[in-house]
Amino acid sequence: MISSPNNKSSGRVILLEDVSVRFDGVAALSDMTFEIEAGEQLAVIGTSGAGKSTLFRVLTRSVALGSGRVTIGGQDLYSLSRRRLNGLRRRIGTIYQAYNLVPQLSAGVNASLGEVGGMGSLRTLRAFLTGPDAGLSERVRAALEEIGLADKAGVRTADLSGGQQQRVAVARLLVQRPDLILADEPFAAVDPVTTERVLETLLHLNSEGATLVLNLHDVEIARRFPRVVALREGRVVFDGPSERLTEDELASIYAGDPSREESARNPDPPFARHGNEGAIRLTEGRDGVSSH
Ligand SMILES: Nc1ncnc2c1ncn2[C@@H]1O[C@H](COP(=O)(O)OP(=O)(O)O)[C@@H](O)[C@H]1O
Ligand SMILES: [Mg+2]
């Protein structure tokens, strides 16, 4: 277990110490040090290429460390045996821009993968051959209903819209009930209604004890989070309450980002949109890099 509602106040759940990652000699993360408390809601922001997706890949040990140490739930992530690593990963729920669903399978089967990932191989095989057992079927149904896709359980995921696919990814989390949720730009390609629905569900899972870490290219949703960490060129350049994200801070976090400078030239207003329609920007944020 990484955390549970019962030990929500038990302090930090993730600790990064001087973490560096390099790709072909080029630094993606440099000397990154910060911690995340159990049950926290954390938004990670930064321009495209700042290192946000690499940070998430570090947290699932999906990329080699150049140096430093990552501790999750008191365990040194990069020293775990393969078996213990797999056990830990089952407690981590992920949502990526590309949804990481199996397009040929139905929405219901994709949602049930939240559980299948935690089952032994015999039960997994049986679930695929004979369908999920009654308990799992009911949880899948309830999860799809919660995110408004009750009527899509049998539909091939590839035939759903992007927003619906993102909601299937969230249904999978509802089935999985992870201790830690890593959502990498979950709103990059979805409409405002889906954004609100997905955010609401993620916050619901958080209220039940899951630690929630989101990567956002766009700062407006980050403002709704109590704590924001900003990355720039692989380094933490801001870590604090979102109210402290002043225009000056944002200007330095996003300096050189063409989409930012564009919005600064055409104030809409630039960094402080209010109201429901203006609050969420949908046209940017696909960085393409995380699909490497
Ligand atoms: N697999 C990879 N191979 C080479 N370079 C990579 C790879 N993944 C990421 N990078 C580089 O690392 C840096 C950080 O990328 P990334 O973490 O994807 O940024 P973000 O998610 O903030 O857009 C970028 O310069 C990117 O080009
Ligand atoms: Mg990314």
CA 224 to chain CA mean position, Å: 16
Lowest average pLDDT, out of 56-60, 118-122, 205-209, goes to 118-122
Percentage of the chain surpassing pLDDT 70? 78
Q: Specify burial of residue 74 (Cβ count, 10 A radius: 0-12, 13-18, 19+).
A: exposed
Residue with tokens 């225009």: 247
170 pocket-lining for ligand 1 (C-beta < 6 Å): no
Residue 100: pLDDT band (50, 70, 90) is: confident
Lowest mean pLDDT among 14-28, 206-220, 256-270: 256-270
Residue 117 is predicted with a pLDDT of 64
Predicted confidence at residue 206, as pLDDT, reads 96
Would you list the DSSP string of the chain? ----GGGTTS-EEEEEEEEEEEETTEEEEEEEEEEEETT-EEEEE--TTSSHHHHHHHHTT-S--SEEEEEETTEEGGGS-HHHHHHHHHTEEEE-TTTT--TTSBHHHHHHHHHHTTS-HHHHHHHHHH---HHHHHHHHHHHHHTT-GGGTTSBGGGS-HHHHHHHHHHHHHHH--SEEEEESTTTTS-HHHHHHHHHHHHHHHHTT-EEEEEESSHHHHTTSSEEEEEETTEEEEEEEGGG--HHHHHHHSTT-HHHHHHHHS-SSSS---STTTT---SS---SGGG-
Distance between Cα 115 and ligand 2 center (Å): 26
C-beta 108 within 6 A of ligand 1: no
What's the predicted TM-score (pTM) here? 0.83
Query: What's the CA gap between 287 and 14, in Å, rounded?
Result: 26
Ligand nearest to the CA of 97: 2
Kindly identify the ligand whose nearest atom is closest to the C-alpha of 186: 2
Measured distance CA(292)–CA(288) in Å, rounded: 8
Q: 9 pLDDT exceeds 60?
A: no
Nearest listed ligand to the Cα of residue 21: 1
What separation in Å is there between the alpha carbon of 184 and the centre of ligand 2?
7
Q: What tokens does 114 get?
A: 């939240």
Cβ(132)–Cβ(115) below 8 Å: yes
43-94: pLDDT as tens digits: 999 999 999 999 999 999 999 999 999 999 999 999 999 999 999 999 999 9
Query: pLDDT averaged over the chain?
Result: 83
Q: Is the pLDDT of residue 287 over 50?
A: no
Least confident range of 17-21, 31-35, 123-127, 208-212: 123-127
Residue 116 pLDDT greater than 80, yes or no: no
Pocket test for ligand 1, best of 20, 22, 54, 62 (most atoms within 8 A of CB): 54
The CA distance from 204 to 57, in Å, is 24
How do residues 226-277 score in pLDDT, each as one tens digit?
999 999 999 999 999 999 999 999 999 998 887 765 555 554 443 333 333 3
Cα(285) to ligand 2 centroid in Å equals 8
pLDDT at 122: 63
CB distance 292 to ligand 1 below 6 Å? yes
- The CB of 195 under 6 Å from ligand 1? The reply is no
- State residue 218's pLDDT score: 76
Mean pLDDT over 88-115 rounds to 85
Comparing 23 with 269, the larger pLDDT belongs to 23
Q: Domain-by-domain residue ranges, the chain?
A: 102-177
- CB distance 23 to ligand 1 below 6 Å: yes
Residue 4's pLDDT is what?
Answer: 43
Cα 11 to Cα 20: distance, rounded to the nearest angstrom: 24
Q: Is 290 in the pocket of ligand 1 (CB under 6 A)?
A: yes
- The residue-averaged pLDDT of 161-181 equals 92
Ligand 1 centroid from CA 119, angstroms:
32
Ligand 1 pocket, 115 CB below 6 A? no
> What is the Cα 209 distance to its own chain's centre?
16
Q: What is the pLDDT of residue 291?
A: 31
Mean pLDDT on 130-146? 85
